[in-house]
């Protein structure tokens, strides 16, 4: 019997992404192991498989918008939005967006940071997929969910390339489904 080609399993993709992501110790400060996704971008076939898989996982959710978290989230969110055939909305650090904005602050280890989104980007009834490269403590993603809600939308799912599970970020995202290609 001749084996038919099978659609790619998530396990094979996860293995290849895991083997390609580069660990950079002590960046941006001592004690942090930075997950550098740029080697994934250098591999055109792998980058395509990855964003195909992120889009496929969201295909049944009937999302109307992909919301992209600055800045590495932009890289993955744009091809996912195009594959899903839906709108793309950037969430940015303060001072970057030119039009009227909604703003949410979130706690950092020391102090606070903030994220902004154009207030007219979504509209009532928007069904949103939020995309970023890494889920760490979840503060950034949780602030993004609050922004989406303030702009009239609902986050139906989060999609990450990497989940640093030991930081328990999913705890901050309870109530919304969370997908990640690779878990550490
Ligand atoms: P957090 O709000 O703690 O979930 O942090 C998430 C944001 O910080 C994401 O936008 C990530 O790109 C970035 N980030 C946090 N920790 C790391 C890490 N170890 N490696 C790469 N990026 C990280």
pLDDT tens track, the chain, 184 positions: 555 545 568 999 999 999 999 999 999 999 999 999 999 999 999 999 999 999 999 999 999 999 999 999 999 999 999 999 999 999 999 999 999 999 999 998 788 999 999 999 998 999 999 999 999 999 999 999 999 999 999 999 999 999 999 999 999 999 999 999 999 9
What pLDDT score was predicted for residue 3?
53
Identify whether 1 is part of a domain: no
Please give the Cα distance from 139 to 145 (Å, whole number).
10
Identify whether 77 is part of a domain: yes
Out of 136, 141, 144, mutate this one to test ligand 1's pocket (max ligand atoms within 8 Å of CB): namely 136
Identify whether 18 is part of a domain: yes
What pLDDT score was predicted for residue 74?
98
Contacts of 127 (CB under 8 A, 6+ apart): 61, 62, 63, 64, 65, 153, 154, 156
Q: How far is the CA of 153 from the centre of ligand 1 (A)?
A: 24
Domain containing 171 — which CATH number? Answer: 3.40.50.2020
DSSP state of 152: T
| Domain of 170, in residue numbers | 7-183
Q: How far is the CA of 156 from the centre of ligand 1 (A)?
A: 21
| CB neighbour burial string for 50-88, b if at least 16 within 10 angstroms, e if fewer | bbebbbebbeeeebbbbbbbbebbbbbbbbbbebbebbb
Place of tokens 């971008």: 41
| Overall number of domains in the chain | 1
Identify whether 71 is part of a domain: yes
Q: Which of 138, 151, 41 is nearest to 102 (CA)?
A: 151
Identify whether 97 is part of a domain: yes
Given a contact cutoff of 8 angstroms between Cβ atoms, the answer to whether 153 and 123 are in contact is yes
Q: Cβ-count burial of 142 within 10 angstroms (0-12 exposed, 13-18 middle, 19+ buried)?
A: buried
Identify whether 135 is part of a domain: yes
Q: How far is the CA of 132 from the centre of ligand 1 (A)?
A: 9
Given a contact cutoff of 8 angstroms between Cβ atoms, the answer to whether 119 and 148 are in contact is no
Q: How far is the CA of 93 from the centre of ligand 1 (A)?
A: 14
What pLDDT score was predicted for residue 5?
47
Which atom of ligand 1 is least distant from the CA of 164?
Answer: 19
Identify whether 25 is part of a domain: yes
Active-site option among 15, 70, 103, 109: 109
Which atom of ligand 1 is least distant from the CA of 36?
Answer: 21
What pLDDT score was predicted for residue 9?
87
Please give the Cα distance from 32 to 18 (Å, whole number).
18
Residue 116: beta bridge partners?
92, 103
Is 109 noted as a catalytic residue in this protein? yes
What pLDDT score was predicted for residue 43?
98
Identify whether 2 is part of a domain: no
């Amino acid at each position: 019997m001749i084996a038919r080609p099978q659609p790619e399993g998530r396990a094979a993709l996860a293995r290849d992404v895991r083997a390609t992501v580069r660990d950079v110790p002590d960046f941006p400060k001592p004690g942090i192991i930075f997950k550098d996704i740029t080697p994934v971008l250098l591999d055109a076939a792998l980058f395509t498989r990855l964003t195909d898989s992120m889009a496929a996982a969201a295909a049944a959710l009937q999302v109307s918008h992909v919301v992209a978290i600055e800045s590495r989230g932009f890289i993955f969110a744009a091809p996912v939005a195009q594959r899903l055939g839906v709108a793309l909305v950037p969430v940015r650090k303060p001072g970057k967006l030119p039009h009227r904005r909604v703003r949410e602050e979130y706690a950092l280890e020391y102090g606070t940071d903030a994220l902004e989104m154009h207030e007219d980007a979504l509209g009532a009834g928007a069904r949103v997929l939020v995309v970023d490269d890494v889920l760490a403590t979840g503060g950034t993603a949780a602030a993004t969910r609050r922004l989406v809600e303030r702009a009239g939308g609902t986050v139906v799912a989060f999609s990450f390339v990497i989940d640093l599970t030991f930081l328990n970020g999913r705890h901050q995202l309870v109530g919304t489904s969370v997908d990640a290609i690779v878990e550490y």
